[in-house]
Amino acid sequence: MFESLSDRLSGIFDKLTGRGALSENDVNEAMREIRRALIEADVALPVVRSFTDKVRNRAVGAEVVKSITPGQMVVKIVHDQLVEMLGGDSVGGGIDLNAPAPVAIMMVGLQGSGKTTTTSKIARRLTQRDKRKVLMASLDTRRPAAQEQLKVLGEQNGVDTLPIIEGQGPVEIAKRAMTAARLGGYDVVMLDTAGRIHIDEPLMVEMAEVKAAANPHEILLVADALTGQDAVNLAQSFDERVGITGIALTRMDGDGRGGAALSMQAVTGKPVKLIGTGEKSDALEDFYPKRIADRILG
Ligand code: GDP
Comparison of pLDDT for 130 and 26, the residue scoring more = 130
Nearest in space to 82 (alpha carbons), one of 122, 107, 47, 51:
51
- pLDDT band, residue 14 (cuts 50/70/90): low
Residue 1's pLDDT is 46
Indicate if ligand 1 lies below 6 Å from the C-beta of 256.
no
Q: Is 147 in the pocket of ligand 1 (CB under 6 A)?
A: no
Q: What is the pLDDT of residues 128-144, one digit of tens each?
A: 999 999 999 999 998 88
Q: Is 112 near ligand 1, meaning CB less than 6 Å away?
A: yes
> Quick one: what percent of the chain has pLDDT higher than 70?
95
Which run of H or of E encompasses 138? strand 134-138
Write down the pLDDT at residue 93: 63
pLDDT band at 297 (very low <50, low <70, confident <90, very high): confident
pLDDT digits (tens, 9 = 90+) for 39-90: 888 898 989 999 999 998 888 887 777 777 777 788 888 899 999 999 887 7
Of residues 183 and 29, more confidently modeled = 183
H/E stretch holding 275 reads strand 272-276
Out of 117, 140, 250, mutate this one to test ligand 1's pocket (max ligand atoms within 8 Å of CB): namely 117
Q: Can you give the pLDDT at residue 220?
A: 98
Give the model's pLDDT for residue 265: 93
Measured by CA distance, the residue closest to atom 16 of ligand 1 is 279
Q: How far apart are CA 294 and CA 298, in angstroms?
A: 6
Span 49-59, pLDDT tens digits: 999 999 988 88
Q: Show the 3-state SS of 201-268.
A: HHHHHHHHHHHHHHCCCEEEEEEEHHHHHHHHHHHHHHHHHCCCCEEEEECCCCCCCCHHHHHHHHHH
The ligand 1 atom nearest the CA atom of 121: 20
More confident residue, 175 or 29: 175
Please give the C-alpha separations between residue 182 and each of 52, 131, 133, 160, 179, in angstroms, as whole numbers: 49, 18, 11, 14, 5
278 carries a ligand binding annotation: no
Ligand 1 atom at minimum distance from 250 CA? 23
pLDDT of 215 strictly over 60: yes
Q: CB of 117 closer than 6 A to ligand 1?
A: yes
* More confident of the two residues 60 and 98: 98
* Exposure class string for 206-225: b at 16+ Cβ within 10 A, else e: bbeebbebbebbbbbbbbbb
Instruction: For a ligand 1 pocket test, name from 157, 190, 279 the mutation site with the most ligand atoms within 8 angstroms of its C-beta.
Output: 279
Residue 152's nearest CA partner among 40, 52, 281, 23 is 281
At 11 the pLDDT is: 72
Distance, CA 124 to ligand 1 centroid (Å)? Answer: 16
Query: Using CB atoms within 10 A of its CB, is residue 92 exposed (0-12), middle (13-18) or buried (19+)?
Result: buried
Q: How many residues would you count in the chain? A: 298
Judge whether residue 92 has pLDDT over 70: no
What confidence tier does 168 reach under pLDDT thresholds 50, 70, 90? very high
Asked casually if ipTM beats, i.e. exceeds, 0.90, the reply is yes
How confident is the model at residue 160, as a pLDDT? 98
User: 194 labelled as ligand-binding?
Assistant: yes
Ligand 1 pocket member 120 (CB < 6 A): no
User: Is the C-beta atom of 277 inside 6 A of ligand 1?
Assistant: yes
Whether the CB of 11 sits within 6 Å of ligand 1? no
Q: Tell me: the pLDDT tens digits for 225-254?
A: 988 778 888 999 999 999 999 999 999 998
Query: Lowest-pLDDT range, 76-90, 188-202, 239-253, 276-290?
Result: 76-90
Whole-number average pLDDT of the chain: 90
Q: Does 113 contact ligand 1 (Cβ within 6 A)? A: yes
Q: How far is CA 81 from the centre of its chain?
A: 18
Instruction: Output the pLDDT for position 2.
Output: 54
116 touches ligand 1 (CB under 6 Å): yes
Q: Given this model, what pLDDT does residue 18 score?
A: 56
The reply, when asked if residue 112 is annotated as ligand binding, is yes
Residue 139 annotated in ligand binding: no
The Å distance, Cα 267 to ligand 1 centre, comes to 24
> Cα-flanking dihedrals φ and ψ of residue 95, to 5°?
-85, 140
- Distance separating alpha carbons of residues 66 and 74, to the nearest angstrom: 14
Query: What CA–CA distance (Å, rounded) separates 42 from 252?
Result: 13
Query: Which residues on neighbouring strands pair with residue 21, listed in sequence order?
Result: 63
